[in-house]
Amino acid sequence: MEAFLPFEGKILINGRPITMHDRTLISTLLQDDYLFQTSIRENLKIANPSAADEQIHEVLRIVELTELISQLSYGIDTMIGPLGHNFSGGEKQRLRLARVLLRSTPIVILDEPFEFLDYAQVQRLAKAISEFLNGKTLIIVSHLALEIPGSVISLSAD
């Protein structure tokens, strides 16, 4: 299965042509993304193996997990259980968001990134993420109305 439908011509991003298998241009968070049964640190470093602890702590701050992680006995070295059973739905979703934020790609696509979060937290995270990714193309697919700067395209199924 190919990543893109066949097309003629070129699609350029920042002057670079998109290829079928170029993982340096686009980062995605899908609705059913997976947390691996390893430490928080290793789950996040899957996105960027060379990420320093400072970068990890920065993305954890953006997704509002700093306080929770600091209360865990092993901090970012805490193991994530099978299917993330030792974390709530909102905590798992924010860990997955943090992982995407560690990637450094010009395009970030988030599909329903705010599941399991309350309205106020959704608005804070949407704003923090859009500020963190300033200068990049951020596409958020969501059923929620988000109060973030930038161009917003709303689609509805009638």
DSSP letters, 37-55, are SSBHHHHHHTT-TT--HHH
pTM of the model: 0.85
Report if residue 1 sits inside a domain: no
Domain holding 37, by residue range, is 12-141
Report if residue 133 sits inside a domain: yes
Q: In this structure, are residues 63 and 101 in contact, taking their beta carbons and an 8 Å threshold?
A: yes
Q: In this structure, are residues 26 and 107 in contact, taking their beta carbons and an 8 Å threshold?
A: yes
> Averaged over 34-52, what is the pLDDT?
96
How many Å apart are CA 46 and CA 13, to the nearest integer?
24
Report if residue 158 sits inside a domain: no
Question: Reduced to 3 DSSP states, what percent helix, strand and coil does the chain have, rounded to the nearest 5?
Answer: 35, 15, 50
Residue-wise pLDDT tens digits, 88-100: 999 999 999 999 9
Report if residue 121 sits inside a domain: yes
Report if residue 107 sits inside a domain: yes
Question: Number of folded domains in the chain?
Answer: 1
**CATH code, domain with 124:** 3.40.50.300
Residue-wise pLDDT tens digits, 91-145: 999 999 999 999 989 889 999 999 999 999 999 999 999 999 999 989 998 888 8
CA neighbor of 56 nearest in space, from 12, 95, 15: 95
Report if residue 83 sits inside a domain: yes
> Averaged over 65-81, what is the pLDDT?
97
How many Å apart are CA 46 and CA 32, to the nearest integer?
16
Instruction: Between 3 and 137, name the one with better pLDDT.
Output: 137
Report if residue 156 sits inside a domain: no
Give how far Cα 67 sits from Cα of 57, 60, 73, 75, 158, Å: 11, 9, 12, 10, 42
Report if residue 149 sits inside a domain: no
Question: Is the per-residue pLDDT at 1 higher than 50?
Answer: no
